[in-house]
Amino acid sequence: MTLNVLFNLLAAIAVLALLYVQQRHTSSFSVRVFTGMGLGVLLGAVLQAIYGASHADLLTTSSYLDIVGSGYVKLLQMVIVPLIMVSIIGAILKLKGIDALGKISALTIGTLMATTLVAACLGILMAKLFGLTAVGLTASAADIARGVYLQGKLEAAQAISLPSMLLSFIPANPFLDMTGARKTSTIAVVVFSVFIGVAASGIHSEKPALYASFEHFIQVAHALVMKLVRMVLRLTPYGVFALMAQVVSTSSYTDILHLIDFVLASYSAILLMFGVHLVLVATTGLNPLRYVKKILPLLTFAFTSRSSAGAIPMSVQTQTLRLGTPEGIANFAASFGATIGQNGCAGIYPAMLAVMIAPTVGIDPYTLSFIAPLLAIITIGSVGIAGVGGGATFAALIVLSTMNLPVALAGLLISIEPLIDMGRTALNVSGSVAAGTLTSRLLGETDQQVFNSDADLPVDQEASAA
């Protein structure tokens, strides 16, 4: 370890210590998250200015920061499966019938897929307004390598069809899916949990004593898992700081400026789609400004972590404890939203890529004969996109290969992928929360008192007692 790296790490440790002092002085969870994000941007910018994006000392520093950033994301991923299982099983035990489960699933999935269709339309619109095209873009060695990598993944993407994707939701080996081994493991765990919950409900009248024991077990497991989730969420400010410092310090500003039109078009579409989510929330009678205030810490984490799946625990907590959405609906929305109908990764991104690449093979992308099948493919193809890094690339491969467009050209955007992916992930999570909120309101299940309160996440209460 060089002296420069040591100084860099001491600066990072000083920031982490400051965040800990904030926690001890019971600063609100939201304040600590935004402080962590701001200090991460500041440290990253300073390191970038001193070393440059590819300096060896900076890369070494980033690897140590990764222990905090990626370590936090891994802890969140650790609690996803137990959280999904105990919450969904517990919710089904409380439901008055299987019809309620069907309504929740239909409304949640329907909203996710409908908003993905709208997101794709906005992506096409912004591509048109900003005049995006891949014609004339120069490929670097990294771009070419990325193109070769994408070509290698093409066969797997082409082998996917809607029937095969739906079939993959069925957990032939639920214990394998609990390890996250497949792209659709999250939904498979949800399906398995639903079956367990329905089966348990079926013995309510047959064996009431056994049912009562199982219900008590789920209640105990739920309390334990919730305690574990709150313990992990207390680390959010530290994780956000490390993740943000990494991204800012290692980004190539030259590459960003070279593709600034794509960056601006992407974020314009993302912001417009956020607006669509707020309109949906407003139509249910909820105050959109209060809604934004309550979900901002969650979106900040999603933005910095670039993991829709990793945001599931915090999403469930935000929906239940800040928005007043019942836990069952919150879990369905967060779980399905991490894999189905991702507005950013499966909607905006593949739509913009297809429109950009089409002119390179002599196709006018702004004709009905191109746009209509593109929108259909994006909407259907949004089913089963993994909620982790690389999900957007997989979605783009499905769309580009189905539209017979050259997939290797997607590698031209490799240098700005992290920057764009941050906004896309935040939009994915926003879409899942909006779907849960809309479903909860339409079913009359939202706790208005919780939504109107100014209470923060309970991690702050525990922090003050620590």
What sign results for the dihedral spanned by CA atoms 173, 179, 184, 186? positive
**202 vs 123, residue with greater confidence:** 123
Q: Is the pLDDT of residue 187 over 90?
A: no
Q: In which region does residue 26 sit, left (phi positive, over 0), alpha (psi from -120 to 50) or beta (all else)? A: left
**409 vs 333, residue with greater confidence:** 333
Provide the CA 166 distance to its chain's centre, in angstroms.
21
What sign results for the dihedral spanned by CA atoms 37, 43, 44, 45? positive
Cβ contacts of residue 27 below 8 Å, gap of 6+? 35, 460
Residue 368: per-residue pLDDT: 93
Instruction: Summarize pLDDT for 312-329 with one digit per residue, the tens.
Output: 899 999 999 999 999 889
Q: Is the pLDDT of residue 226 over 80?
A: yes
Residue 97: per-residue pLDDT: 54
**115 vs 412, residue with greater confidence:** 115
Provide the CA 423 distance to its chain's centre, in angstroms.
10
Report residue 466's pLDDT band, with 50, 70 and 90 as the boundaries.
very low
Give the DSSP H or E segment for 151. helix 141-158
Q: What is the largest CA-CA distance in the chain?
A: 72
Report residue 256's pLDDT band, with 50, 70 and 90 as the boundaries.
confident
* 383 phi and psi angles, rounded to 5 deg: -80, 120
**How many of the other CB atoms lie within 10 Å of CB of 369?**
9
CA pair distance 132, 355, nearest whole angstrom: 8
Q: Locate tokens 């579409």: which residue?
A: 269
The answer to whether the CB of 357 falls within 8 A of the CB of 136 is no
* 451 phi and psi angles, rounded to 5 deg: -60, -40
Residue 185: per-residue pLDDT: 82
CA pair distance 21, 27, nearest whole angstrom: 9
Q: Locate tokens 């290692």: which residue?
A: 250
Could you confirm whether domain 3-465 is CATH 1.10.3860.10? Answer: yes
Residue 156: per-residue pLDDT: 55
Residue 120: per-residue pLDDT: 95
Q: Is the pLDDT of residue 17 over 90?
A: yes
180 three-class SS? coil
Report residue 310's pLDDT band, with 50, 70 and 90 as the boundaries.
confident
Q: Is the pLDDT of residue 65 over 60?
A: yes
Residue 160: per-residue pLDDT: 58
Residue 142: per-residue pLDDT: 47
Report residue 446's pLDDT band, with 50, 70 and 90 as the boundaries.
very high
- How far is CA 296 from each of CA 211, 318, 426, rounded to the nearest angstrom? 40, 10, 10
The answer to whether the CB of 198 falls within 8 A of the CB of 90 is no
CA pair distance 130, 118, nearest whole angstrom: 18
Encoding tokens for residue 332? Answer: 């369905």
Q: Is the pLDDT of residue 114 over 90?
A: yes
Q: Locate tokens 């600066």: which residue?
A: 11
C-alpha closest to that of 29 among 316, 325, 237, 301? 237
**427 vs 132, residue with greater confidence:** 427
Q: Is the pLDDT of residue 384 over 90?
A: no
Q: Give the HSE-up count for residue 366: Cα atoms under 13 Å, Cβ half-sphere.
A: 11
Cβ contacts of residue 190 below 8 Å, gap of 6+? 84, 88, 331, 332, 335, 336
pTM: 0.81
DSSP 359-416: GGGT--TTSHHHHHHHHHHHHHHTBT--SSTTHHHHHHHHHHHHTT--GGGGGGGGGG
Cβ contacts of 231-234, under 8 Å, gap ≥ 24: 231/462, 232/72, 232/75, 232/76, 232/78, 232/79, 232/313, 233/29, 233/313, 233/314, 233/317, 233/457, 233/459, 234/23, 234/459, 234/462, 234/463
Cα dihedral: 363, 369, 374, 379 (round 10): 180
Q: Is the pLDDT of residue 440 over 50?
A: yes
